[in-house]
Structures are given as C-alpha cells and as structure tokens.
C-alpha cells in the first residue's frame, strides 16, 4: 500500500486528518514515525507558504506523498492576530493553555459584537517527484468570554461556531469536521488525493 506522510507533529491535527482520510487506500503516517526529519522553520507570512514548505520538506526527506496543514486563528479586534503565529502566540514553545489565556487577556475589554474571528486552513499535498497541490478554506466564528468544552485542541474551547451556538470544543470530532476550516479543506484535498492515487495505479 502507498504511504501518506502527514507533515505535522500536532496530535490534534493528526487525529482529525486521519478521521477525514479514513477508507483511502493509503497507510497514513505522521512525523512521529520519522523522528529523523527535523522541524521546519515556519517563517513565511502566509498559511499557504508554510503548508507548502512543510509538505515539500517532508516529501523530499521521506520519498513519500506528503500532506501538510498550516492553520490558525485571525481575530478581527486584533487586526488578524495571531494568524500564522497562532501556535506560538504566547511565545516560542507556548502550550494551548498559555495561548488561550493570552487571547482572553487581549480581548478582555472587547464586547461580544467585536469578537469576530476566522479560522483558516491551508492543506498542501506534495508528491515525491515534486508535483504540488494546495487547498485553502476557512470558518467564521466568535471568541467566547471564557473556555467552554473539553474536546478538540488548541483554541477550540474559545471558538464559537455561531450556527450551532457551540464552541468547537463542545462539538464531537465528526460535528466539528463537518463545518470546520480543516474539514472543508481536507475533503477537497481527499478528492485530489483519490484522483492522484488512481492515476498512479494506487
Ligand atoms: P505542525 O506545524 O507540526 O502541523 P503546529 O501546531 O505548529 O503543528 P501550525 O503551525 O499550523 O501547527 O499552528 C496552528 C495553530 O493554530 C495550532 O497550534 C492551534 O493552536 C491553532 N489551530 C489550528 N487549527 C485549530 C483547530 O482546528 N482548533 C483549534 N486550534 C487550532
């Protein structure tokens, strides 16, 4: 069976992406299976640029098809911050709790009607020969006044998906993936991947 390397070390992402790729004729691996591949410096100004950089590096180093996700939260009242810095909002190596705390601090005096935000996701797919594909999608929402729910990862307890009136962390993985930035982008990436696998004879 062909291998597909998820170019990420984020376990929350791995869980969601594996769920969305279920049933494809590929063995899905992640960078945890390739400890020799060094971390990529995510120094580009766009989600697309960083996703491509991560997938290209992983495809080159492993010789397998690589899929990378670069994602993050843009908060209107913060002029789009933390954006591409979402993972290290509270500093290098910051954990989810520290990032969430800082986000709430920065929005302390901001009323509900000005707490709009957008989650964005770029998925890059790179074949061992260098062929590259990119898909992007997003999901609008609002930042809650305090954390709610215990599912998911990252900023999930603070991101309210308004049509459901629930934070991402109050939704189960399937419900989140139906409407999330990652779910929407990955369903399109899955179709591309199905096409590429059938062309290359599985
Ligand atoms: P990799 O680069 O190894 O994939 P990372 O955590 O550094 O892992 P990013 O650079 O793409 O990933 O940073 C995205 C950050 O945005 C991530 O750490 C989360 O804090 C946040 N994020 C992205 N998608 C999210 C989601 O669905 N729910 C909650 N937070 C999310």
The band of 201, judged by pLDDT with boundaries at 50, 70 and 90, is low
Average pLDDT over residues 57-61: 97
Mean pLDDT for the chain overall: 97
Name beta bridge partners: 71: 121
Say how many C-beta atoms besides its own lie within 10 A of residue 179's C-beta. Answer: 15
Work out the end-to-end distance of the chain between its first and last CA atoms, rounded to an integer number of angstroms.
8
Dump pLDDT digits (tens) for 89-143: 999 999 999 999 999 999 999 999 999 999 999 999 999 999 999 999 999 999 9
Q: Which domain does 51 fall in, by range? A: 2-199
Predicted pLDDT of residue 96:
97
pLDDT number for residue 90: 98
Ligand 1 proximal residues by C-beta, below 6 Å: 8-10, 13, 42, 69-72, 86-87, 96, 99, 152-156, 168, 180, 182
Q: Which SS3 state, helix, strand or coil, does residue 94 take? A: coil
**pLDDT band at residue 200, thresholds of 50, 70 and 90?**
confident
Residue from 9, 10, 84 to probe ligand 1 pocket by mutation (most atoms less than 8 Å from CB): 10
Residues with Cβ within 8 Å of residue 174, at least 6 apart in sequence: 19
Rounded-to-integer distance, Cα 160 and Cα 142, Å: 5
Sign, CA dihedral 177-42-37-92, equals negative
Position 1 pLDDT exceeds 80 = yes
CA distance 160 to 120: 14
In the three-class reduction of DSSP (H, G, I as helix; E, B as strand; rest coil), residue 85 is classed as helix
Q: What's the CATH number where 125 sits?
A: 3.90.950.10
Cis peptide before 82 (omega within 30 of 0): yes
Convert the pLDDT of each residue in 140-189 to its tens digit. Answer: 999 999 999 999 999 999 999 999 999 999 999 999 999 999 999 999 99
Total count of domains within the chain: 1
């Amino acid at each position: 069976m062909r291998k597909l390397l998820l170019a990420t070390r984020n376990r929350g992402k791995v869980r969601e992406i594996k769920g969305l790729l279920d049933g494809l004729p590929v063995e899905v691996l992640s960078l945890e299976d390739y400890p020799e591949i060094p971390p990529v410096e995510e120094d580009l100004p766009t989600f697309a640029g960083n996703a491509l950089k991560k997938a290209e590096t992983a495809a080159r180093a492993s010789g397998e098809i690589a899929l990378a996700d670069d994602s993050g939260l843009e908060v209107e009242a913060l002029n789009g911050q933390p954006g591409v810095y979402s993972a290290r909002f509270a500093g290098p190596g910051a954990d989810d709790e520290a990032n969430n705390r800082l986000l709430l601090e920065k929005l302390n005096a901001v009323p509900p009607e000005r707490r709009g935000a957008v989650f964005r996701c770029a998925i890059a797919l790179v074949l061992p020969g260098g062929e590259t594909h990119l898909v992007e999608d997003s999901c609008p929402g609002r930042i809650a006044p305090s954390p709610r729910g215990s599912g998911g990862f990252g900023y999930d307890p603070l991101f309210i998906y308004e049509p459901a009136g629930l934070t991402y962390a109050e939704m189960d993985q399937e419900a989140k993936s139906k409407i999330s930035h990652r779910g929407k982008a990955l369903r399109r990436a899955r179709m591309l991947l199905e096409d590429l696998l059938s062309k290359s004879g599985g």
